Each structure stands twice: as C-alpha cells, then as structure tokens.
C-alpha cells in the first residue's frame, strides 16, 4: 500500500508587508532584500490570529480539494515551531475544529524541515495500515518570535499555512523520504528561549530567532545537495526524471543552488518566496499548493520536495503526484 497526495491547500494572512515598509523600521532597502533573498513581500498574521487559525483554513481547502469531508480524516500530523499552546498540541486543537475526533493527532517540531518530517511520519502510518486518510499540516506565526531590530532575520520570516491530504492507494505516491539532523550546528540558527530554559534577562520574557546567515547558507546548500543525491540514488533515478522541484522557500540563492545541483532550469522550480518570505514549516506545502492550483504540477508528475531548518534538520521527499 502506498500513500498518495490527493489534495492540497494553503492560507496566507490578509496583511501584506512590502519591503518598502521594512525600510522604515530598519537599515535596509527594497533592492538589498530582493538581491540577497528574492523576497518582495510577506504576510503577517492579524492580532489574535494564531497558527491553528491559519492551519484550519489550509486544512479545509486541502480536504475539499481531496473530495473528502473532515470526518474522513483518521490522522493529523501538524508541523510547527510556533504552537498556540504548549499543550494541547496543535494537531488536537485543529482536530477539534474539524470534528474528526478520536483519530491520532500530534505536532512535530523540526523548524523549517517540519513539513518534510511530518509527511514522512504520515506516509509510514498509511503504509503500515494505521491510517487511510491523513492530514499533514505545516503552519507558522513566525512574526511572534521575530526581532524587528535584527535585519538579518526580520526581512526573512513571516506567517502562513499549508496542508496536504494523503490517502492509501495501490498507485505509487510518496516514493521515499530522507530525514537528517545534526545538533552540533545548534548555535547557527535557533530561538533564544523556551519553557524549561526560560528567557534571556534582557528579552522581556520573549524568545526571538537568531541566525548566522553566511554559515547557515553554506551548510544548507551542502546538506540539501547531499539529500537530493541520496533520494535519487535510493530510487535508482537520474536527475532528468524530476519534473518539478518544490523547495523550502527560504532564500532564492539556496533555491538556485539546489536547482543547479539537479541540472534543473528555474522554469521547473516552484518559487513563491517572493510573495510570502520564509514561512518555515509552511513554505513547502504553500509552494506545492501554488504549483498544483495554477496547473503546473499535474497528476503523474515526479516532484522533489526538500527543506532545511534550525537544529540543523533537513530532508527530502520524492513524490509521484
């Protein structure tokens, strides 16, 4: 039995913040941000709008696209680094809203790689016969942990949600997933506080993102390149077999580097970073939904999903649509 993606959905908050708005807050320019990151604008959650609020919109759209009702879902795996509450986890909070109570529902925290991790977990539930229709979500309200005095991170991170529905099928679907982590890089990209560790004395009881940009870029390009090679080798496929690359939307330069690794022209890469910035665990399903709904990604296409995040964590998934 295989797990196939049968529906996709996404959601972006109403508030759009263009680079020119950030020029008023910090020492940066629209030109500098576009050149270094490829980002033109991003979306910020409204006051009171939460990670689960956004996830519900994306989930309902994915379930509708799959031709199902919420009650048909028998597993929820929810990837986020910015949960509404410590507990109950976001998966159960979303489950209560959708009305598919009783099925397993839990959250996964692997930063920007969270959706790939969650997809891999759900795939294995379906393959094992433990679930027939799984909802996999990636959602973040990163603006709640963004330091708007730090242009290194403030220009990058934003809010949004994406989701897919997996269904058991005899047809090929998720061919394989490759997951990795290396905690020795923890000081290059991290959040400054947490429940058990507390918060820095000068933080005002607030945790924020910190990143060493150049070092993170170098490691990301190397690790993602290795992951691409690994997933293709596992399936005995050449690079030319890939129809579409759907990468983590972190930075246009990283996306271009992975495309070069695959010998893929940028015309075969789904790029949405210019419209919503880095939405961490939400970015891959957001890009996937865009490619599906605008007709570029079609049934039968072979797509490669990949992501890299704090930890460091990284992974890739080879998927037949």
Residues known to be catalytic: 112, 248, 278
- In this structure, is the dihedral angle defined by the CA atoms of residues 48, 51, 52 and 57, taken in order, positive or negative? positive
- CA-closest candidate to residue 115, choices 321, 274, 288, 276: 288
- Output the CA–CA distances (angstroms, integers) from residue 254 to 19, 125, 217, 242, 276, in the order listed: 20, 31, 7, 18, 16
Q: CB neighbours (10 Å) of residue 119?
A: 30
- Strands 105-108 and 75-79: what pairing? parallel
Q: CA-to-CA distance for 202 and 233, rounded, in angstroms?
A: 49
DSSP, residue by residue, 108-136: E--GGGHHHHHHHHHHHHHHTTS-SEEEE
The size of the chain, in residues, is 321
Contacts of 153 (CB under 8 A, 6+ apart): 146, 147, 208, 209, 210, 211
- How many whole angstroms separate alpha carbon 206 and alpha carbon 191? 10
Task: Put residue 277 in one of left, alpha, beta given phi > 0 → left and psi -120 to 50 → alpha.
Answer: left
Q: How far is CA 103 from CA 92, 93, 135, 174, in A?
A: 9, 13, 11, 22
Question: Interior CA angle at 249 toward 289 and 20, to 5°?
Answer: 110
CA distance 67 to 266: 32
Check: CB of residue 293 under 8 Å from CB of residue 8.
yes
Q: Are 55 and 12 in contact (CB under 8 A)?
A: no
């Amino acid at each position: 039995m295989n797990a196939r993606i049968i529906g996709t959905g996404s959601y972006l908050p109403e508030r759009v913040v263009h680079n020119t708005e950030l020029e008023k807050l910090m020492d940066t320019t629209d030109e500098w941000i576009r050149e270094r990151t490829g980002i033109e604008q991003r979306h910020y959650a409204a006051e009171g709008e939460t990670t689960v609020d956004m996830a519900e919109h994306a989930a309902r759209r994915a379930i509708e696209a799959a031709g199902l009702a919420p009650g048909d879902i028998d597993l929820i795996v929810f990837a986020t680094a910015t949960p509404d509450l410590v507990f109950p986890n976001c998966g159960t909070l979303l489950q209560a809203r959708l009305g598919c109570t009783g099925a397993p529902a839990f959250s996964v925290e692997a930063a920007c790689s969270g959706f790939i991790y969650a997809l891999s977990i759900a795939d294995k539930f379906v393959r094992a016969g433990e679930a027939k229709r799984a909802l996999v979500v990636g959602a973040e309200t990163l603006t709640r942990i963004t330091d708007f005095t730090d242009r290194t991170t403030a220009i990058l991170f934003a809010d949004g949600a994406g989701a897919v529905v997996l269904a058991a099928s005899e047809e090929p679907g998720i061919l394989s997933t490759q997951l990795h982590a290396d905690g020795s890089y923890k000081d290059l990209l991290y959040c400054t506080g947490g429940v058990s560790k507390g918060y820095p004395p000068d933080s005002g009881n607030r945790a924020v993102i910190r990143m060493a940009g150049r070092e993170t870029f170098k490691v990301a390009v190397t690790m993602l390149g290795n992951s691409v090679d690994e997933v293709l080798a596992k399936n005995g496929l050449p690079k030319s077999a890939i129809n579409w690359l759907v990468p983590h939307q972190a930075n246009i330069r990283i996306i271009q580097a992975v495309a070069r690794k695959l010998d893929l022209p940028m015309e075969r890469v789904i790029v949405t970073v210019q419209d919503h910035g880095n939405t961490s665990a939400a970015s891959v399903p957001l890009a996937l939904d865009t490619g599906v709904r605008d007709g570029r990604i079609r049934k039968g296409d072979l797509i490669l999903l990949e992501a890299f995040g704090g930890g460091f964590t990284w992974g890739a998934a080879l998927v037949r649509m």
